[in-house]
């Protein structure tokens, strides 16, 4: 299992379009993905539940990936939440 706290630097946070991109990326992997914010969590494959987290730029989230390709999933999803050149948490 890979788990990390990230500050979302994507300008749109996880509004509709970026959340949809996130879900599409999650579905490429076998790993189970969970995103947590303020004590609430959502499965990475659920657009509606992700959007209910209300993630905006500057929020700290916990990304959890568990499965055979967890490392690849974690890296790809981190890149969506923190585009290149963005400061790491």
Rounded distance between C-alpha atoms, residue 4 and residue 81, angstroms: 12
Catalytic residue selected from 4, 15, 25, 46:
15
Residue with tokens 């189970």: 32
Question: Any residues with CB less than 8 A from the CB of 48 and at least 6 apart, and which?
Answer: none
Q: Tell me if residue 15 is catalytic.
A: yes
Question: Which positions are catalytic?
Answer: 15
């Amino acid at each position: 299992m890979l788990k990390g706290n990230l500050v979302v630097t994507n300008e749109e946070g996880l509004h509709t379009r970026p959340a949809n991109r996130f879900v599409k990326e999650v579905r490429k992997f076998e790993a189970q993905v969970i995103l947590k914010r303020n004590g609430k969590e959502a499965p990475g494959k659920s657009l509606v539940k992700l959007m209910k987290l209300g993630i905006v730029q500057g929020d700290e989230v916990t990304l959890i990936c568990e499965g055979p390709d967890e490392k690849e999933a974690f890296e790809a999803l981190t890149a969506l939440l923190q585009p290149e050149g963005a400061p790491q948490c």
